[in-house]
Amino acid sequence: MALLEIANLTVEFATATGSLRAVDGINLSVDEGEILAIVGESGSGKSVAMLALMGLLPWTAKVSADSMLFDGQDLLSMDDRQRRKIIGKDISMIFQEPMTSLNPCFTVGYQITEVLCQHFGGSRRSYNNRAIELLHQVGIPAAETRLNAYPHQLSGGMCQRVMIAMMIACQPKLLIADEPTTALDVTIQAQILELLIELQQSHGMALILITHDMAVVAETAEHVVVLYAGQQVEQRSVKELFKSPQHPYSEALLNALPERAQEKLLNAIPGVVPGQMDRPKGCLFNPRCSYAQEMCRQQPPELRDGILCHYPLAMPNPSMRKDPDLDVRTQ
């Protein structure tokens, strides 16, 4: 049985101008020790879905799902008190902005030992050695002295390492990393990513990596879920996806990778993710899809074999990709 099973997860926000559907029917399944990547542009609902899983959304959010099972426990029917026993211990999450995600008023040591006290009891002092060990694990030099440092005395990369130390402190079975490297310098990004993979392997934990970077997906994950405007458009193994993407959006994301650019210009995807006000009729991707047909503009597609498209790209034809304006299927 999978460690995490989510079926038809939907999140709606009540706003002044009506309800906004940020996540629309996502299905996920993560096995123990597996790395799953969730990809999509900004605003595609990646973070919201994971925050919903953690129960961290504000009260304006309405979360519904057919099932949400973690380690055999039903997260949906659980009350807050029960959920808090799992959150931070068995499932934990690190965030995009390490500098603002640590409390500026407390020392690093305090914030790490706090989570241990919360889930295992005992005094904070008794966990000092454990905290030092954790800081070592995440590659922070002179860990003993860092315990008394405040977040503002550390660099962004250091803060993210502290964040990771804090979140793996209780040996979680599942770690969710929400764009853990986006806010960091390019040179640090690779280090943090490497660290995450290393920890994932040594601890045998499952890792959900939220990212918008296809290159990161290729290097790390086994399975990938592609989200677009809150909908899950494709879910497959990474290898297959990279070999032959079936959804035009996945293909477009891959084409946007610098190493796939065949000319001097990068293949950017025209337009932006639709918001609450400008949802198109039919398939949500149709205004930006170079393959869109009349059908795509009229009817929303249904999920078939993990792909949300009227006309999945059956056989990739590399020669056709040179000109994205050409419609493959009309040839």
Site residues, other proteins (CB under 8 A): 54, 56, 80, 84-89, 92-93, 95, 97, 100-106, 114-115, 118-119, 150, 152-153, 163, 166-167
| Cβ pair 45, 230 in contact under 8 A | yes
Distance of closest approach, residue 115 Cβ to other proteins, in angstroms = 4
Distance of closest approach, residue 97 Cβ to other proteins, in angstroms = 6
The torsion defined by the Cα of 99, 105, 110 and 112, in degrees rounded to 10, comes to -20
Distance of closest approach, residue 53 Cβ to other proteins, in angstroms = 11
CB nearer to other proteins: pick between 115 and 224: 115
The torsion defined by the Cα of 211, 12, 32 and 240, in degrees rounded to 10, comes to -50
CB nearer to other proteins: pick between 137 and 255: 137
Distance of closest approach, residue 58 Cβ to other proteins, in angstroms = 8
- Note the Cα 214 to chain centre separation in Å: 12
Distance of closest approach, residue 216 Cβ to other proteins, in angstroms = 22
Distance of closest approach, residue 300 Cβ to other proteins, in angstroms = 27
CB nearer to other proteins: pick between 9 and 102: 102
CB nearer to other proteins: pick between 83 and 321: 83
**Contacts (Cβ under 8 Å, ≥6 apart) of 305:** none
CB nearer to other proteins: pick between 153 and 276: 153
CB nearer to other proteins: pick between 204 and 275: 275
Distance of closest approach, residue 101 Cβ to other proteins, in angstroms = 4
Give me 124's structure tokens: 């904070």
Distance of closest approach, residue 274 Cβ to other proteins, in angstroms = 15
CB nearer to other proteins: pick between 114 and 213: 114
In whole angstroms, what is the distance from residue 92 CA to residue 82 CA?
A: 15
In whole angstroms, what is the distance from residue 173 CA to residue 76 CA?
A: 19
CB nearer to other proteins: pick between 160 and 255: 160
